[in-house]
Amino acid sequence: MRLFDLPQAQHFCKPAGVGGPGQAQSLAGFHASLSGITTLTEGTTSFVVHQANLLSSVERWIAYSISNYRRAIEMLVPVAAPWAQVTLYYSSFFAANAILGMFGGWVGQVRGSTTIVDVEQRTPGSQRLRIHRRQRSPNRAAGSHRAFWDFFYDATPGIVAWAPPTLASALDPVNGDVSWQIGERNNVNYDMHYAWEAATHFHRTFKSSKLESITGPAALQLEATQQMLRLATHFACDVDVSCGSLRGCGVSGDRAHIQRILVRQRPPNLTAQSELASILSL
């Protein structure tokens, strides 16, 4: 999977007409309508619509990634700790999607199969993207998430030179295994024995005054997520992503301001209005 270098990514992330009438739509839905089209050439309608929606998704992926990271930290009590790990996974997943998007890459599910978009020509002013439909990942991974990470780690050696040395590890497979993150997410999400083991391990080892006291797979997921988030936000500043896609939740301003306000919002305390008390009394 081929990506832009940083100078070409900076050009790609500053298009004309982003957010214009009729452009805002699902990327998967848009690609489902592109039957027979295999290339997207800068200046054409299909390129502009794809570009506008990919960059909007980049802004939103970063905001969701940061928000999920915050919510995961708030769930650090034993019976929620496994789901904190799942939430950290999604934070990492969204940030990784954002990194690919800023450099011209996209991995999506279109009509039940994997479609990827990568870079065919980098030259600013005549950039061209290639659509690959029904694409198998480099290691023929099974499942959409495993396939995503396979594509991601296959592509990122091309941009590692643009990452700060302290963050370059985000572009390497976690624990040396391309599918480690999704495997651990599945363990705590679908196997109650594994989830309860994670909860009891957390109870025995975690000190509530010290985040770094997390151990085991959750600690590795936390570290991986933090690195991926730092790198995504670093690249977002490098390419200056800003296309107004975060409007609509009652906050105005630039991307960084809206993102900061939305992520820091405290949830309403509605426990007394819920059915929790009656459920616990049964």
Residues of the chain falling short of pLDDT 70? 16-23
- What would the pLDDT profile of 176-196 be if each residue is shown by its tens digit? 999 999 999 999 999 999 999
- What would the pLDDT profile of 229-269 be if each residue is shown by its tens digit? 999 999 999 999 988 889 899 999 988 899 999 999 998 99
Q: Which amino acid is at 153?
A: Y
Burial (CB < 10 A; 0-12, 13-18, 19+), residue 157, is: exposed
Q: Which pLDDT belongs to residue 256?
A: 87
Q: Which pLDDT belongs to residue 120?
A: 98
Q: Which pLDDT belongs to residue 16?
A: 61
Q: Which pLDDT belongs to residue 255?
A: 87
Q: Which pLDDT belongs to residue 15?
A: 74
